[in-house]
Amino acid sequence: MSKIISYNVNGIRSAIDKGFAEWLIQESPDIIHIQEVKALQEQVNLNTIISAGYTPYWFAAQKKGYSGVASFTKTPPQSVRYGIGSDFFDAEGRFLQLDYTNYTLINSYFPSGSSGDIRQEKKEEYLELVFDYCAELLKTQKNIIISGDFNICHTPIDINHPERHAGYSGFLPHEREWMDRMMRLGFIDSFRMFNMQAHQYSWWSYRAGARAKNLGWRIDYHLVSSHAASFVTHASILPHIVHSDHCPVVIELAHI
């Protein structure tokens, strides 16, 4: 069985200071994808993580202290793709692909549109880029897992008080429709294979005690291709793990 975790750490150095490495070793996933590393690899002390058997693959943003993704894996992939092929988004370090013999793993940090119209437009541009990329990838690879912070709540049960957030980036009708399109393309929300309850969140604002009140958003996912879904044995969210304003999301699979 393989355990894969996705976790927006909101700054890997800050998360390590809060015990991230020790937690990772105890949790012992086969692979962890992290988003918002906000650092170059050489700026981070990874000795504890590497000593535990993980190989790091890192794709930082060009802008210091911003964005970036990394994946730590106990089984090195056959090949690694850094970036989705867009100069703009690759400069922001948003896409990392690990290819294995029978499956492809994608680690992505989707843009937020909450800062204004310009960033919302870039977010929507990225959504279409990912959709087209995945549609093409499905032609040659039937086992795909897309993990990361999507910055979208798909359905009303994925957000607190949905009636209050109808016009907010992350819960806009056309963003949610993009998720529907991904499902029609052949992807499945792995968490909802096992849990259809409301109030299951992966991100909480730092403001107004939102986490203590569980006023959150579920914006972190493992989307699995329909063929890979048959190998999924469990999926969960770990809201009690606190190194970030997000929490880890977990998927477990029988070997593909």
Burial of 176 (0-12, 13-18, 19+ CB in 10 A): middle
Q: pTM of the prediction?
A: 0.97
Domain carrying residue 199 = 2-253
Q: What is the CATH number of the domain that holds 146?
A: 3.60.10.10
Catalytic, out of 149, 158, 189, 220: 149
Per-residue pLDDT of the chain (256 residues; tens, 9 = 90+): 699 999 999 999 999 999 999 999 999 999 999 999 999 999 999 999 999 999 999 999 999 999 999 999 999 999 999 999 999 999 999 999 999 999 999 999 999 998 889 999 999 999 999 999 999 999 999 999 999 999 999 999 999 999 999 999 999 999 999 999 999 999 999 999 999 999 999 999 999 899 999 999 999 999 999 999 999 999 999 999 999 999 999 999 997 6
In the residue annotation, 149 being an active-site residue is answered as yes
Nearest 5°: CA angle at 128, between 244 and 119?
55
Number of domains making up the chain: 1
Distance from C-alpha of 155 to C-alpha of 167, rounded to nearest angstrom: 14
